[in-house]
Structure 1
Amino acid sequence: MNKTRKNDVHPVARADAGELTITGLVSYRLQLVGNLMSRSAAMHYRRRFDVSLWEWRTIALLGARPDQTLNELAKVVDLDKGLASRVISALAERGLVQRRADEQDARAVRLSLSPAGGKLYKQLIKAAAARNDAFLKALTPEEWAVLDRALVKLEQVGRASIEEEKQLAASEGPPKSPSK
């Protein structure tokens, strides 16, 4: 296997063998593809089910893992608690999510799908599976296996990078203003 050294730039990240550009960054490419997939999903779920992308994700997570707190849900979705609260409130007003007090923590609220939310969840998951199949048809099984392994590795590196940045920020203090 041809591996690059740690300080080498991967040949794919070069633009016409010149200097690295933003479009050659793996994070840019992944974000672009993710945004395209998310935007098309948002349009699809709004048109077919009258739910926003965040509502769809919330319903999907509560359908897969019922009885979560708002904090747990916000963490899994990687969503600001304030925005997660607004999404939950909108879904509750529509009768799709139920809230109940947490027996162990009086400040916490447990969330689950209502019967109507459960019915919508089944429809959404069926639509999501069809969309997923359409994306997977663009790849051979071998290409998907390689991509899946690569995504696992990139997720691990991303999480480690976040932890490293947190540690560096804590040890270095606030950033200094650039010199003029």
Structure 2
Amino acid sequence: MLPIRELLSYRLHRVANALSRSAALRYRREFDVTLHEWRTIALLGADEPLTVNRLARLAGLDKAQMSRVTGKLTERGLIEREPGPGRTTQLSLTRSGRVLYRGLIRAANERNDAFLVCLTPLEQEVLDSALAKLATLAKVLERSEH
């Protein structure tokens, strides 16, 4: 039996938290956004318009959390809401939101490069493959738990 510190899920969680904490500090300092706000802006910048439900699923937040995040970003003039099909509301970045997105995604890419520099090209390929396999299996296991 492995102790918790040696379990794969625990180790991945710790690394992900460390990456998120350092990102949160940088994005707050440089762009005055929280990590949830950054993810929301980044997701919209990559694939807008999106509904609150879709954004929540992509960001790994519940709908109420995402509603609060998008509400704050709307108040700051970074997101705009428009009626969508049926009773949905589509969210998109405003002009200022797009400017912020470009700065945030540039910083995120810099951080990404800084982390990958400690891995050889082969290690990067192996990591990508391993993460893809783990994500696929995690989804299968999650569905089997329902």
Work out the CA distance in 2 between the residues paired with 1:28 and 1:22: 7
Aligned counterpart for 2:92 among listed residues 112, 115, 120: 112
Work out the CA distance in 2 between the residues paired with 1:91 and 1:121: 12
Counterpart in the other structure of 1:54? 36
Matched, 1:131 2:114: no
After TM superposition, the structure 1 = structure 2 runs for residues 90-109 of structure 1, keeping only pairs within 5 Å, are: 90-102=72-84, 104-105=85-86, 107-109=87-89
1:46-105 CA distances to partner (integer Å, 9 max, x unpaired)?
010000000000000000001111111111112100000000000000000000111x21
1:108-167 CA distances to partner (integer Å, 9 max, x unpaired)?
11000000000000000111110000000011111111111100111011001100001x
Matched, 1:147 2:141: no
Matched, 1:75 2:62: no
Aligned counterpart for 2:70 among listed residues 88, 108, 113: 88
TM-score of the pair, normalised by structure 1: 0.80
- AA matched with 1:89: G
Counterpart in the other structure of 1:171? none
The structure where helix makes up a greater share of residues is 2
Matched, 1:30 2:12: yes
Give the paired residue count: 146
Work out the CA distance in 1 between the residues paired with 2:73 and 2:144: 37
Counterpart in the other structure of 1:63? 45
- AA matched with 2:34: S
- AA matched with 2:28: R
Counterpart in the other structure of 1:176? none
Q: Give % identity.
A: 52
Task: Name the Cα RMSD after superposition.
Answer: 0.7
Matched, 1:121 2:112: no
TM-score of the pair, normalised by structure 2: 0.98
Higher RCO (C-alpha 8 Å, min separation 6): 2
Work out the CA distance in 1 between the residues paired with 2:67 and 2:47: 17
